[in-house]
Chain A
Amino acid sequence: MNNANCDPHGRRVIIVGGGPAGLTAGYRLAQMGLPSVILEKDQIVGGISRTVSYKGFHFDIGGHRFFTKIKAVDDMWKEVLNDDFLRRKRLSRIYYRRKFFYYPLRPFNAFAGLGLWESTMILASYLYARLFPHRQEETFEQWVSNRFGRRLFQTFFKTYSEKVWGMSCSEIRAEWAAQRIKGLSLLSALRNALAGQNGANKKRVIKTLIDEFDYPRLGPGMMWREVAARIEQSGSRVLLGAEVEGIMRAENGVEAVTISRNGEREVLHGSDFISSMPLKELLLKFEPPVPDQVKTAAHNLKYRDFLTVAVIVDKSRLFPDNWIYIHDPAVRVGRIQNFKNWSPFMVPDQSKTCLGLEYFCFEGDDLWRQPDRQLIQMAAEELEMLQLAERSSVEDGHVVRMPKAYPVYDSEYNDSLRIIEDFLRGIPNLQVVGRNGMHKYNNQDHSMLTAMLAAENVVGAAHDLWRVNEEQHYHEEVTIAPEQQRLLKEKLRAAFARMDSFAFATATGLVCSMLLLLATLFVLLRQDSPLVPYMGLLGQYFIGYSVTPGGALLGAVSCFTWVFLLSWLFAYLRNFMIGFFIYRIKRKMELLTFKDFLDHF
């Protein structure tokens, strides 16, 4: 085992995790002719993006849409599944106070559902928030309220967010919400706006990405099973049930990992290591242990866990949505997926429906520990309470618990990540990739991108994975070369720089008063100029002015004053308008990026 899967130079890449990131790394390496060993602790590939099968019914751990703006990722998806992708129209709604609201929100539908009084109150609270915003934006609640008003926040964001994170919105840090729309940098917003990207075209791209998506016929697991199969065909290995228990580190890097498989411990040596297992676990598995500071940082990384109760309902049609957000606080379920609406191939019998009821929880809490039977019973009861299905029509069910579904962005995570990043930079042959692997709120595409770059690094590239721009969000339109980006930034800075009102007013005042002075003296030199009576009229505005040497001097002073004031006003208004333009662009982008906010959990 120890020397198997080496290239002719004795190189062997060990990849921890058989989720999208780990498998993508293995796939890329195989394409480059480098063998690898992928270690997956579960008996199934795909990680969080797996598809579970139960009695012929297939379901995901939260429905997984395939959408990306990263070409390399899109190419790989097409290369692997090609004809097995279905293009799906998205339909999702929010269930709130026994009513359904389209999500992303549609103004008329929301208005009709909320009624005149509630809509007016929402509008009033929005105006109030714009006029009197919270001065400090420390919490998620303040952050959203400042932008949308308190009432809208309470209606459409509060209960769901609290279900997802298991804490009050007044405890969730504002920076987390800001992170969710971090695709928005002012510079890129301006760049897009000026490059016409903010117009119809950009809106269409965003709309398409939100309203449509690709989905493999048999769920995302189909993709990852196929990738694993191709990796094995290339001579690399995907070991299932192989849990990494120790990372053995020497002076110049990681030397080996210890794994337990089928109850036995093994040591696997390698030349390069790529890990997609949760960062916290990775660091705590180091032998010898990591320094205390790093250990504390690792302990500071927190996660939110998740469980899906898939129920089989003896009904051919229940509702048309792909999924429904359940804001109602009376039930614990957070979201309900209707997998048949993702792909009809997900159910073996079209007279039945398979729903996935998603519960957000913490590993070890009461929900997590509840026996499967009770969870299925609760799911059936909640479906009835929500009037989506009768309890008696629920025939069967299956529970999947997914620990560490969401890396938590709390007040500590960023500093901790910095410490960890610094530490890992000192281990050149170990790269971390993926979602929990880097503690980044990545979707499949960005998880895959980090893995692709890591594979290239193994053969000599020097990508900095920590800097992989997950802000290269799908809302962002164009990617441009760094040099062009620098130039563009400079140009934008020059274009939007503030005009110095005082300097401009002084300069124009001086030049105009000089011109008046010179013109008057010139007229005086030319005796009997017919201009004299006309120029004298300037005295109506420029106090003390007359077509005489003394009058010219007094007029120049007064001309300076007038021109100074007007130019100052001009410069002030110019700065104000530019500020307003920037503010408008920013808000527009903010709203646009916030449009599908709930979709990110």
Chain B
Amino acid sequence: MAANQINDEEKLFSGILRLNAKVFGLVLGIVLGLLVFVATNWLLLKGGHRTPDGRYVVGPHLQLLSQFFIGYRVSFWGSIIGFFYGFALGTLSGSAIGWIYNKIVDWRK
């Protein structure tokens, strides 16, 4: 019995974590999507400022995201579009990390 117990404990410590690439991707996707969504709406809530030429500008730096996320704007609709872009990027990156991680673990075994 004691031997079984030691065995259990050894197994517990000797196990190497496998990442579930899909789940990891999904989690990263949701996190990134929410990040863009919240960041955009946060700026909207805070409000923008008027430029010397009289234009009302909200979040000019975040707006630069539209260089990658075509169609993205610092607006409520933009935050939803941004969410989907963020989600897609996060999912792809997360799945890629998971996949590469598992491959390396296999290879090192």
A residues in contact (CB < 8 Å) with B: 175, 178-179, 182, 185-187, 469, 471, 489, 492-494, 496-500, 502-504, 506-508, 510-512, 515, 519, 522-523, 526, 529-531, 534, 582
Contact = CB atoms under 8 A, between A and B. Distances in A.
Given A187-B8, A522-B68, 17 more contacts: A182-B2, A185-B9, A186-B8, A186-B9, A186-B12, A489-B8, A492-B12, A500-B108, A502-B104, A503-B100, A503-B104, A504-B101, A506-B100, A506-B101, A507-B101, A510-B100, A519-B68
Interface of A is mostly: helix
B35 interface: no
A512 B100 CA distance: 12
Interface in B50-109: 61, 64, 67-68, 93, 96-102, 104-105, 108
Nearest to B97: A507
Interface residues of B, number: 28
B108 A503 contact: yes
A515 B93 contact: yes
Interface string B31-62: 00000000000000000000000000000010
Contact of A496 (B12, B64, B68): B12
Nearest to A571: B17
Given A500-B105, A502-B104, A504-B101, A530 B8 contact: no
A147 to B, nearest CB: 17
A134 B102 CA distance: 40
Nearest to A508: B97
A448 to B, nearest CB: 20
A222 B12 CA distance: 47
Given A500-B104, A511-B93, A531 B67 contact: yes
A534 B98 CA distance: 30
B67 A529 contact: yes
A359 B6 CA distance: 36
B64 A530 contact: yes
A503 B102 CA distance: 8
Q: Would you call the interface of chain B mostly helix, strand, loop, or mixed?
A: helix
A530 B67 contact: yes
A187 B9 CA distance: 7
A187 B97 CA distance: 30
A586 to B, nearest CB: 9
A323 B99 CA distance: 64
B30 to A, nearest CB: 17
Q: Which of A511, A519, A530, A534 has the most chain B CB atoms closer than 10 A to its own CB?
A: A511
B76 to A, nearest CB: 23
A504 B96 CA distance: 11
Nearest to A586: B9
Contact of A497 (B16, B93, B97, B101): B16
B97 A531 contact: no
Given A500-B108, A531-B64, A494 B15 contact: yes
Contact of A186 (B5, B15, B67, B99): B5
Given A522-B68, A529-B67, A500 B12 contact: no
Nearest to B64: A531
A178 B2 contact: yes
Nearest to B14: A498
9 contacts: A175-B2, A185-B8, A186-B8, A489-B8, A497-B18, A500-B108, A510-B96, A511-B96, A511-B100
A489 B15 CA distance: 12
Contacts of B8: 185-187, 489
Contacts of A522: 68
Contacts of B12: 186-187, 492-493, 496-497, 582
Contacts of B64: 530-531, 534
A453 B15 CA distance: 36
A534 B65 CA distance: 11
A26 B61 CA distance: 85
A526 to B, nearest CB: 7
A585 B11 CA distance: 17
Nearest to B96: A511
A493 B61 contact: no
A305 B81 CA distance: 81
A256 to B, nearest CB: 34
Contact of B15 (A178, A496, A531, A582): A496
A502 B101 CA distance: 9
Nearest to B63: A530
B7 to A, nearest CB: 10
Nearest to B102: A503
Contacts of B15: 493-494, 496-498
Given A186-B12, A523-B67, A526-B67, A500 B5 contact: no
Given A492-B12, A500-B108, A534-B64, A182 B17 contact: no
Point out which of A489, A522, A530 has the most chain B C-beta atoms below 10 A from its C-beta: A530
A500 B99 CA distance: 13
Contacts of B93: 511-512, 515
A582 B15 CA distance: 14
Contacts of B18: 494, 497
A502 B67 CA distance: 34
A498 B13 CA distance: 7
A515 B88 CA distance: 13
A186 B5 CA distance: 8
B104 A497 contact: no
A306 to B, nearest CB: 26
Contacts of A504: 97, 101
A498 B97 CA distance: 17
Contacts of B13: 498
| Most B-side CB within 10 Å, residue of A492, A504, A515, A531 | A504
Given A182-B2, A500-B16, A503-B104, A493 B97 contact: no
A504 B108 CA distance: 12
A575 to B, nearest CB: 9
Nearest to B98: A507
Contacts of A187: 8-9, 12
- Most chain B CB within a 10 A radius of its CB, from A186, A496, A515: A186
A182 B1 contact: yes
Contacts of A178: 2
Nearest to B9: A186
A500 B101 contact: yes
Contacts of A512: 93
